[in-house]
Structure 1
Amino acid sequence: MKNFYFLINLLLIIFTTQKHFIIYAEGPLASLWGINDAEVQRYIIIEKNLVLIDKIVKPFLNDSSFGGTWIDVKLNKVFINTVNQSQVPIIKSLPELKNYLNFLEFQPANNSLEYLKFSFNQIISILVPQRKPHNVFIGIKPKDNNVVISLGLD
């Protein structure tokens, strides 16, 4: 019985601190999104919905015709970088995406995901073995439709 009370108290502490951490996370999220603290919960729900839609749409996007996706919580949209515009009607006509078309925004892009991955791998294969960079971040930034290299701050 003593263990049961201990377990109940432990669970109570865990659930209380989780709520406490969520409250303290609201300030930075409000700053990131440029919104009031009171709106954070609504925007978190929007973000969860957009992430789900993004996961649903990605399997239908081939790497040679599309340049990746990114979400904009404030606009409530999943942006799809599109290299080959002829693929847009095909994607829009898929029955699996019928309920999500209002959330999708196809935007013209220069670089396919295939090209971005190739460029990323080339940069890594040249830069890392030769220079052994420290505190350098290299990645594909879908919003910019490009490979980015940024310096970390120490």
Structure 2
Amino acid sequence: MLAVVTALFLFAAGCNAPAKETDAKTTVVSAMTPEQKQAIEQEISGLIKEFFQQVEKLDIERCMTYFENTPDFQAVNPDGTLGDYDALKKLNADGFSQMKTLSAVPNKEVIRVLTDSLVLYTFSMEQNATLKTGQKITFEHVAGTMLFTKINGAWKATFYQESASAPVPVK
């Protein structure tokens, strides 16, 4: 519920900002055809699949291409701290640098089209990692939210939130 309120707040704040010359008229979901909504859901689904493939490759540079690198970007990290694009990149690069392998096993995913240029994606998953030391760990409960905005014809995450339980060593 908090993620939806946050997304709506971000959307409302964006509506009060002066329009950029490249901005197009936004169509709310209630005015969209089922086909339009489904097409957007498929675009986001494909994008997410590609994103998690890069996560599993531990490729921080490619992973970060799915996020908008602007001063307005916000991240809420698993430890509850707030960060910008660079902080999110550093946090994940530090984590990736300790891993030999990582797999993401989705439990549930929800794509919610808010407008033709704003989509909320929520996920829960399990992540299994092998550290460079050889130790195996599992993050049994990882949940996150990404707010995608269509910018110059491309979907970019403009907000990211992740929560995770502490890793559990695998015997």
Is the TM value for this pair above 0.5?
A: no
Higher relative contact order (Cα pairs below 8 Å, separated by 6+ residues): 2
Answer 1 or 2: which has greater strand percent: 2
Greater Rg, structure 1 or structure 2? 1
Which structure carries more helix by proportion?
Answer: 1
TM-score (norm 1): 0.29
